[in-house]
Chain A
């Protein structure tokens, strides 16, 4: 991009005033000076050298203004941190995420305390539904007070949904990593169901609302996997390594539906 600055002739002509510059040149140089610090510096140097009367006038005005400007309240420093974070997660998501992390730590403690109770890891059992809690809070009509405003903005839709989901996973996955590492469960064994559940929540959420989808899926999980596992004290098929391709398929299907139905997140229905 070429940058065109005011020439020496124009600046000196502007400083002298009078008929040296035509009206359109004056207009253009003033518009340029508003946005260009370099040319303003050259202008002030030209004023200082060429027109001492103007320079002394400026000094007088400045010395009169300075004490008054000194007492004007300045804008308080922005809390950069909160402004940044709000673009990734709404304040309403914070307690839900804290709960998800808290539950991970609790299950980890239980796991470590009852190592003899069987081969089932509680972390493994809970991992898929923990991010669903956060996702539900991230796009919920009942929990997010600004839901209607958020749905009406240009940034709403898939972009914002995925951004918030990513921030949920960014908090929950590290906590689960610690849990998985401490209990010796293979990462892929819980991470894949975890991602599959998250994508399924979003996909179903586009139809019935994200919060409702989260509750339905959590109930299905509790009924189909958690209850039989707890009853028989054996890891069900769903969580064994042979079940991984099925989880991969669910993840891919979920993502496909989310992308195909991305318009659903820009209307009020998705917030039910």
Chain B
């Protein structure tokens, strides 16, 4: 009997920490946008002159419907090109043309409409995404297993996607986003369809990821932000309204503002527009 399995591979005497792991970063912010404008369709500017710098941590992107949250996240995922202004991700400018493969390898993205192939099992789908994200072939099985375990789907990993509930599908979406160990993680409405217990577990995962990743979560739910985010980015009509810790958002609201919690009151205080009468949608 031998101790351990002979893998048939012989490697160097390797040190446990590689140079890349301890190398200092060459940029100040993971996400750095100045004067960013993104046009959607022929006329509408969905993001209209945004200055935003985001570093490591969990950033909650809040804003009313149609504020341009999804457009902003798509632009950060490099699937939409900015019309004007500059956008730097991980120190590389992604404003112009180019495939940005190196940057994309370090981005995780969960779109608002998460589409998947029903025939695939959870493992197959996440493996397929890992292949698309150019995860080295040898580390794909381990990376997939780790991602699936992190979202609590290890026991369902070999079931077909069509047999899963809505919340589970959402968790597969989160698993595929984190399978390449991204430095920038963009989640567009990840908590839709999660039940309260799953949402709690998801917040824990967010906090865990936020220790070494720049996570941007767009959400409608103010309480998600309060519980899991280090930072709130309030976005309305394509512009940045507020950026700061959740406490600061809460202190912006007074008893005269609409809302059930201090955060909600702060949210409505900052979004209160004199032209927009109360009671309208």
Contacts and interface: CB of A to CB of B under 8 A. Distances in A.
Interface of A: 1, 3-6, 27-29, 31-33, 35-38, 40-41, 43-44, 47, 58-59, 62, 75-76, 78-79, 82-83, 86-87, 90-92, 144-157, 160, 262-263, 266-268
A235 to B, nearest CB: 42
B99 A152 contact: no
| Most chain B Cβ neighbours within 10 Å, of A27, A35, A152, A266 | A152
A83 B126 CA distance: 11
B15 A31 contact: yes
A37 B9 contact: yes
| Most chain A Cβ neighbours within 10 Å, of B13, B97, B111 | B13
Contact of B13 (A6, A75, A266): A6
A143 B11 CA distance: 46
- B-side interface mostly: loop
| Most chain A Cβ neighbours within 10 Å, of B5, B100, B111 | B111
B133 A41 contact: no
Contacts of A147: 115
Nearest to A28: B13
A149 B114 contact: yes
Given A35-B9, A152-B107, A154-B105, A44 B128 contact: no
Nearest to B104: A154
B4 interface: yes
A160 B131 CA distance: 12
B78 interface: yes
Interface in B16-60: 16
A268 B79 contact: yes
Interface of B: 1-16, 74, 77-81, 97-102, 104-105, 107, 109, 111, 113-120, 123-124, 127-129, 131-134, 158, 176
27 contacts: A3-B11, A4-B12, A4-B13, A31-B14, A32-B11, A32-B12, A36-B10, A37-B7, A41-B6, A43-B3, A58-B3, A59-B1, A86-B128, A91-B120, A146-B116, A148-B111, A152-B79, A152-B104, A152-B109, A154-B101, A154-B132, A155-B134, A160-B132, A263-B98, A266-B79, A266-B99, A266-B100
A263 B99 contact: yes
Nearest to A266: B99
Contacts of B13: 4-6, 28-29, 31-32
B232 to A, nearest CB: 25
Contacts of B115: 144-149
B76 to A, nearest CB: 10
B113 A267 contact: no
B140 to A, nearest CB: 10
B189 to A, nearest CB: 13
A86 B121 CA distance: 12
A47 B4 CA distance: 13
A87 B68 CA distance: 33
Contacts of A91: 117-120
Contacts of A146: 115-117
B116 A83 contact: no
Contacts of B129: 149, 153
Nearest to B121: A79
A36 B3 CA distance: 12
Nearest to A41: B2
A65 to B, nearest CB: 12
Given A58-B3, A153-B129, A28 B15 contact: yes
A47 B79 contact: no
A157 B119 CA distance: 25
Nearest to A264: B97
Contacts of B176: 149
Nearest to B155: A73
Contacts of B107: 152
A5 B13 CA distance: 6
Nearest to A153: B132
Nearest to A2: B12
A109 to B, nearest CB: 31
B117 A152 contact: no
Contacts of A4: 12-13
B174 to A, nearest CB: 13
Contacts of B114: 149
A148 B2 contact: no
Contact of A149 (B8, B12, B109): B109
A271 to B, nearest CB: 9
A268 B80 contact: yes
B9 to A, nearest CB: 7
A206 B124 CA distance: 29
B1 A44 contact: yes
A262 B100 CA distance: 12
Contact of B124 (A32, A82, A92, A268): A82
A146 B131 CA distance: 14
Contacts of A35: 7, 9, 11, 14
Contacts of B104: 152-154, 156
A59 B1 CA distance: 9
